[in-house]
Structure 1
Amino acid sequence: MLDPVLSHWLDAEAEALDLGHSDPQHVLSQLASANVLRVGISPQLGGTGGNLADALEVMASVASHSLASAFVFWGQRAFIEYLLHSPNTGLRERLLPDLLSGQLAGATGLSNAMKFLSGIESLQVRARAHANGWALDGRLHWVTNLRKSGFVVAAAIEREEGGAPFVLAIPDGLPGLQRSDDLELMGLQSSNTAALDFQAVQVAQEWLLHDNAKVFLPAVRPAFLGLQCGLSIGLARRSLQEAEAHLQGPRSGLLELLNEQKTHLEAQVDALKTGLLEGRFLTNPAALFNIRIALAEATASAVQFELQASGGKAYLCAHGSAFARRWRESAFVPIVTPSLVQLRAELLRQAKVSA
């Protein structure tokens, strides 16, 4: 259950956040004030306890009000998860308090790296080693939560001299690091989503998250992708909830179909939670990929069902603006990295290898 103050703010600002009419600076501070960033993190580290399934449920609750806010939430929470998995305890101790309080924005930056892990794409940032760290060159084309008042971004880096790629946390403000203007998206505009260019950016050894990306990335992928599924879950639940409110009179015959969609959705949610808590996706990522695909399809079906239940009212501006926003939000779910196309391609590749 979300804090009522946060729920009210999200509902009031959802349309403006999606269209870019609301200051993106406020999103993280609102989430932090409601303590949602601390869920699933040990109290010893500044969290409120619980586990990753609890964090997933909070993520879904935020998404049911505003996918733009949930997208920011996911970026922040995923970066926090990287710190929790990093052997660099000094970096975690230095950054975690400001990340949990919302004073510092954390950007995942690992979408390219996750595609690299599946052999879909090469790494886009390269490093030349020097005595105290590295000089970075390259570009990250799409990164969320690059808040202009201060951010730190995670990136997987190719070594120019060869060897295993590694993962860095890179703070803003370094010479040679350039943030683009916000990308002109169809929705989710107030999410501080932009590109980053690196030109001989000097990063010290103290910012190392892990010295081997091929070890680190599979370890954090369940949280990266599992929490991302919260966007689908929250949006699907909200559309089905809205649809139910319309199923009266001549449309009451659709109630059975509604219940079927709810049952299918929650079965996938249960499978996701079980896999995350049991660690099953560490050794069987294909199971996670299939759940992500199923949840994306369930979201598309839920939004379509909401349209059918609403009828022509969905096309009246006075009644349908929230539905139109959910329609735009649902269009994002299949393409957020890893996209459904990428996941299906990886599943086909794995099937050929095991055949």
Structure 2
Amino acid sequence: MPDTAATDTTSVARKPLPADLQAWLEAHTQQLDTAQELAGAVLPQLAAAGLFRIGVPEALGGSGGDVRDAIDAIAAVAEQSLTSAFVFWGHRTFIEYVLQSSNDALKARWLQPLLAGEHAGATGLSNAMKFLSGIESLQITAAQAGDGWQLDGGLAWITNLRKEGFVAAAAVNMPNGAPPAVMAFAGDAPGVTRSPDLDLMALRGSNTAAVWLNAVPAGAADVIALDARKFLPAVRPAFLGMQCGMSIGLARASLRSALALCAKTRNTLTDRVLELQTALDDAVARLLEGVHDGRFQSAAAPMFRLRITLAEIVQAAVMLELQASGGRAYLRDHGLDFARRWRESAFIPIVTPSLTQLQIELQKQSAAGPASATE
């Protein structure tokens, strides 16, 4: 929903990362991508820099601003490490669910530990976003159990399932004809089982795993929203907007590298790099405006198109970096950063909602007529 406390709809000013975090990311970005040993360190590093408080009202323990500031911060981290930005996105998105929930008990239990990075938040709603578009059925089912419920099912892919402790969100099929709800469940709750980390080709320090629920108890204090069909469209602009921060940061890093290489060698590519930079700046401005003024809540299609556009810009930016590098990009002692960005860029089209899923949804909306574009 739009931030009524702020009146301007212009782009937020880009802010540099704190020096300590910048240095840590630069020192460990390769290891975060290729190994799992530092997975437990990412959340504390981001928390120590105050990043999880960005875009959260000061009255609730945040540093103020709005979701646009969170998008900018995620993009800044993604310029250094998409693994860390992926963790940041999952955690900050869960915080957004808590902020937009009307459940005071949920806020009282989880908000401050999440802001401080003492507990990991896992968005868990990729399945729900696909459900909202009719792509996939819900994977978690609730059965009545006294005054509460028992949750059963599983989610095949969730990021930020930190081994030291996590809380995750899931959309849940409810009993007795009630609409699907959005629930939170803690990693140490009875019946919750986390898989070993998935064997990813990149982003291996992101604590990405599967999770299974077997008769997991849930009560009123665990309810994020009783009607997922109303809640999900309301949080989707923040969910997708902050997810787009990953594309923005990665594209900026590749374009900056390509421009520097062009200055030394292949000047014929300079105009193409600058043209793509202009396209990126335009897409970012439109994203921030739409997230801020609320238009994406009533019209999802323009936001879907922006997500696709930004993913395409990432692919083009990495290709320009490759062309500007030439054969040196294939030498390990010269091309480690490029090789990492190449692997990272392969993730952008498939993170849920994937480009294929978004394109299918846009085709459905186009076939159904103008009314469906507001869903």
Residue aligning to 1:275 = 290
| Residue 187 (structure 1) aligned with residue 202 (structure 2) | yes
Please report the TM-score for the alignment, with normalisation by the length of structure 1: 0.98
Residue aligning to 2:246 = 231
Question: How far apart, in 2, do the equivalents of 1:213 and 1:240 lie?
Answer: 39
| Residue 68 (structure 1) aligned with residue 83 (structure 2) | yes
| Residue 10 (structure 1) aligned with residue 60 (structure 2) | no
Question: How far apart, in 2, do the equivalents of 1:334 and 1:94 lie?
Answer: 35
Residue aligning to 2:211 = 196
Task: List, as ranges, runs of 4+ consecutive aligned residues in structure 1 with deviation greater than 3 Å.
Answer: none
How many Å apart are 1:128 and its aligned residue?
0.4
Residue aligning to 1:240 = 255
How many Å apart are 1:50 and its aligned residue?
1.1
Question: How far apart, in 2, do the equivalents of 1:319 and 1:59 lie?
Answer: 27
Question: How far apart, in 2, do the equivalents of 1:74 and 1:224 lie?
Answer: 8
Question: How far apart, in 1, do the equivalents of 2:87 and 2:254 lie?
Answer: 21
The letter of the residue matching 1:349 is K
Q: Tell me, what secondary structure is at the counterpart of 1:319?
A: coil
Matches within 5 A, 1:1-355: 1-248=16-263, 250-354=265-369
The letter of the residue matching 2:289 is T
Question: How far apart, in 2, do the equivalents of 1:44 and 1:161 lie?
Answer: 38
How many Å apart are 1:4 and its aligned residue?
1.0
Question: Alpha carbon RMSD of aligned pairs, Å?
Answer: 1.0
1:233-261, CA deviations, whole angstroms, 9 ceiling, x for partnerless residues? 00000000001111135511221111100
The letter of the residue matching 1:149 is E
Q: Tell me, what secondary structure is at the counterpart of 2:334?
A: helix
Compared CA separation, residues 249 and 32, structure 1 to 2 (3 A): closer
Question: How far apart, in 2, do the equivalents of 1:130 and 1:94 lie?
Answer: 22
Q: Tell me, what secondary structure is at the counterpart of 1:189?
A: coil
Q: Tell me, what secondary structure is at the counterpart of 1:196?
A: strand
Aligned residues with identical type, % of pairs: 52
1:34-77, CA deviations, whole angstroms, 9 ceiling, x for partnerless residues? 11111111111111111111111110000000000000000000
Check the 8 A contact 2:225/2:231 in 1, yes or no: yes
How many Å apart are 1:3 and its aligned residue?
0.4
Compared CA separation, residues 310 and 126, structure 1 to 2 (3 A): same
Q: For structure 2, which runs of at least 5 residues remain unmatched after alignment? A: 1-15, 371-375
Compared CA separation, residues 36 and 278, structure 1 to 2 (3 A): same
Q: Tell me, what secondary structure is at the counterpart of 1:318?
A: coil
Question: How far apart, in 2, do the equivalents of 1:329 and 1:70 lie?
Answer: 11
Q: Tell me, what secondary structure is at the counterpart of 1:138?
A: strand
Compared CA separation, residues 131 and 7, structure 1 to 2 (3 A): same
Question: How far apart, in 2, do the equivalents of 1:21 and 1:125 lie?
Answer: 28
How many Å apart are 1:274 and its aligned residue?
0.2
Q: Tell me, what secondary structure is at the counterpart of 1:192?
A: coil
Check the 8 A contact 1:134/1:205 in 2, yes or no: no
The letter of the residue matching 1:150 is G
Question: How far apart, in 2, do the equivalents of 1:348 and 1:202 lie?
Answer: 40
Please report the TM-score for the alignment, with normalisation by the length of structure 2: 0.93
Compared CA separation, residues 250 and 102, structure 1 to 2 (3 A): closer
How many Å apart are 1:93 and its aligned residue?
2.1
Question: How far apart, in 1, do the equivalents of 2:45 and 2:221 lie?
Answer: 30
The letter of the residue matching 2:59 is Q
Question: How far apart, in 2, do the equivalents of 1:259 and 1:249 lie?
Answer: 16
1:107-161, CA deviations, whole angstroms, 9 ceiling, x for partnerless residues? 0000000000000000000010122211111110100000111110000000243
The letter of the residue matching 2:111 is L
Residue aligning to 2:13 = none
How many Å apart are 1:22 and its aligned residue?
3.3
Q: Tell me, what secondary structure is at the counterpart of 2:138?
A: coil
